[in-house]
Amino acid sequence: MTAKVITVASGKGGVGKTTTVANIAVALAARGQKVTCIDGDIGLRNLDVVLGLENRIVYDLVDVIEGRCRLRQAMIRDKRLSELYLIPAAQTRDKTAVSPSDMVRLCDELRTEVDWIIIDSPAGIERGFKNAVAAADRVLVMTNPEVSAVRDADRVIGLLEADGKGPASLIINRLNPTMVKRGDMLSVEDVLDLLAIDLIGIVPEDENVIVASNKGQPLALDDKSKAGQAFQHIARRLLGEKVPFQDFNTPNVFQRLLGRK
Amino acid sequence: MMSFLFGRKKSANSAKERLQLVLIHDRTDLTPAELEALKDDLIATISRHIDIDPMAVRINMAQEGREQRLVADIPLKSATRKRTR
Ligand SMILES: Nc1ncnc2c1ncn2[C@@H]1O[C@H](COP(=O)(O)OP(=O)(O)OP(=O)(O)O)[C@@H](O)[C@H]1O
Ligand SMILES: [Mg+2]
């Protein structure tokens, strides 16, 4: 096996990176792929709680890098999906405990063991971000349809281009179709016009995201949730499938039924 | 005032327009003031070789995808004079 390394980054904080990493990882694992996700947010670890694995942590990323344990020992196996693993971030250290070349070395060791390595980047464009993208084969840039998130995404896209890490692919998260319809939210087309990169996913605003993180059960396995479906679509696109983008412009089924004959 | 009378402009449109301008400057690292200075330098340099009307010079940032381009439109004085005669 030679894993593909995917990093989710955004510039701006709180746009949904950790949620997305957890859900893409779960969706890929549910399709029989062997997946390891790495929490790159050292000092602010969160991927463990979103995945519901917080009680099983013994070793973390910095322990591996500083040689206190072997790579295998820091990989927590998800009991629900046997081929899903998490390497948690250290909570009591800061980003300087890891360097970009540490990440490259670690991912190179891991590449032979899994199909996918999914890395959760911290917010910002400094050390933590540089660590998270250092080993990436492909970066998914995440934004919300909102002025500051789009501006920061553009900065990140520019930095990746300058570093020869482009072209990045875009995920638009927390789209609210009702607000788009009344002209109070940037549409998918608007964001694509502005950022001018390829789209890989549109995730609607969905209360189930919070319910799922309350429970520590990613919703990518829930076919009834809209966000869950959107995350599954992203996973399938990563696997090379051509999945058409959902049209969120018709917010409810009734309007859709009335609109068409 | 006008927008108050004729209905509010959609906020998504203002967001897009504002972002378009902000991103141009973010991407090029060129402030509007620096662009003005560049324009003055360019006019001075060209004027040393050929007669131009500084007021007619248009220099703008254009974009194509993620590529930024500096587009200059510099009408020559002698050419316009000939045509109007
Ligand atoms: N599609 C969505 N619908 C509703 N809520 C969402 C959605 N996506 C994310 N959220 C919520 O937004 C919050 C921030 O999400 P998340 O922690 O994934 O962002 P982040 O980009 O990782 O943040 P940070 O930059 O701090 O690491 C969480 O409370 C999450 O549940
Ligand atoms: Mg996060």
Burial class (CB in 10 A: 0-12, 13-18, 19+), B19: buried
Q: Tokens at residue B14, please?
A: 């203002």
Residue B7, pLDDT score: 56
Q: How far apart are the first and last CA of chain A?
A: 50
Q: How far apart are the first and last CA of chain B?
A: 45
Residue A6, pLDDT score: 98
Contact between A158 and B10 using a beta-carbon 8 Å cutoff: no
Q: Judge whether A152 lies within some domain.
A: no
A42/A11 Cα distance (integer angstroms)? 16
HSE-up (13 A, CA, CB side) for residue A195: 36
- A4-9 and A116-120 strand pairing: parallel
pLDDT > 50? residue B85: no
Residue A221, pLDDT score: 84
Q: Judge whether A11 lies within some domain.
A: yes
- In angstroms, the separation between the Cα of residue A11 and the nearest Cα of chain B is 14
Residue B5, pLDDT score: 52
Calculate mean pLDDT across residues A178-193: 96
Q: Which residues of A touch B19 (CB under 8 A)?
A: 147, 150-151, 194
A103/A75 Cα distance (integer angstroms)? 15
CB A205 within 8 A of CB A174: yes
Q: For chain B, what's the residue count?
A: 85
pLDDT > 60? residue A255: no
Residue B78, pLDDT score: 65
Question: Which residues lie with the beta carbon below 6 Å from any ligand 1 atom?
Answer: A 10, 13-19, 41, 46, 122-123, 173-174, 203, 205-206, 209-210, 213, 227
What confidence category does residue B62 fall into, taking pLDDT thresholds of 50, 70 and 90? confident
Compute how many other C-beta atoms are within 10 angstroms of the C-beta atom of residue A61: 25
What residue's CA is closest to ligand 1, atom 10?
A16
Calculate mean pLDDT across residues A75-98: 93
Residue A247, pLDDT score: 85
Calculate mean pLDDT across residues B41-60: 90
Compute how many other C-beta atoms are within 10 angstroms of the C-beta atom of residue A32: 9
Q: Judge whether A169 lies within some domain.
A: no
Q: Judge whether A61 lies within some domain.
A: yes
A194/B20 Cα distance (integer angstroms)? 7
A135/A153 Cα distance (integer angstroms)? 19
Q: Which residues of A touch B65 (CB under 8 A)?
A: 196
Tell me what the pLDDT averaged over chain A comes to. Answer: 93
Q: Is B19 on the interface with A (CB under 8 A)?
A: yes
Orientation of helix A188-195 relative to helix B11-28, angle to 10°: 20
B72/B58 Cα distance (integer angstroms)? 6
Calculate mean pLDDT across residues A28-39: 97
* Rounded distance from Cα A42 to ligand 2 centre (Å): 10
A254/A259 Cα distance (integer angstroms)? 8
For tokens 């009307």, the residue is: B53
- A169-175 and A35-39 strand pairing: unpaired
Q: Which residues of B touch A197 (CB under 8 A)?
A: 66
Residues A210-233 pLDDT 10s: 999 999 999 998 888 999 999 999
For residue A13, give the ligand nearest its CA.
1
CB A37 within 8 A of CB A118: yes
Domain extent, residue A97, equals 4-140+208-257
Residues A47-83 pLDDT 10s: 999 999 999 999 999 999 999 999 999 999 998 998 9
Q: What is the ipTM of this complex?
A: 0.86
Contact between A184 and B66 using a beta-carbon 8 Å cutoff: no
Residue B79, pLDDT score: 53
pLDDT above 70 as % of chain B: 81
Residue A182, pLDDT score: 95
How many domains does chain A contain in total?
A: 1
**Which amino acid does the sequence have at B77?**
K
- In angstroms, the separation between the Cα of residue A17 and the nearest Cα of chain B is 22
Residues A119-177 pLDDT 10s: 999 999 999 999 999 999 999 999 999 999 999 999 999 999 999 998 999 999 999 99
What confidence category does residue B61 fall into, taking pLDDT thresholds of 50, 70 and 90? confident
Compute how many other C-beta atoms are within 10 angstroms of the C-beta atom of residue A148: 14
Q: Is B11 on the interface with A (CB under 8 A)?
A: yes
Q: Judge whether A196 lies within some domain.
A: no
Residue B69, pLDDT score: 87
* Rounded distance from Cα A139 to ligand 1 centre (Å): 18
Q: Judge whether A27 lies within some domain.
A: yes
- pTM comes to 0.89
Element (DSSP H or E) covering residue A260 = none
Tell whether the torsion through CA atoms of B53, B56, B60 and B62 is positive or negative.
Answer: negative
What confidence category does residue B63 fall into, taking pLDDT thresholds of 50, 70 and 90? confident
List residues in chain A touching B: CB distance below 8 A.
Answer: 146-147, 150-151, 154-155, 157-158, 161, 180, 182-187, 190, 193-197
Q: Which atom of ligand 1 is nearest to the CA of A22?
A: 18
pLDDT > 60? residue A261: no
Q: Which residues of B touch A184 (CB under 8 A)?
A: 10-12
Q: Judge whether A175 lies within some domain.
A: no
Among B64, B66, B67, B68, the strongest candidate for a mutation testing the A interface, having the largest count of A CBs within 10 A, is B66
Nearest residue of A to residue B20 by CA position? A194
Report the CATH number that the domain containing residue A22 is assigned in CATH.
Answer: 3.40.50.300
What residue's CA is closest to ligand 1, atom 5?
A209
Residue B6, pLDDT score: 54
**Least confident window among A100-104, A194-198, B8-12:** B8-12
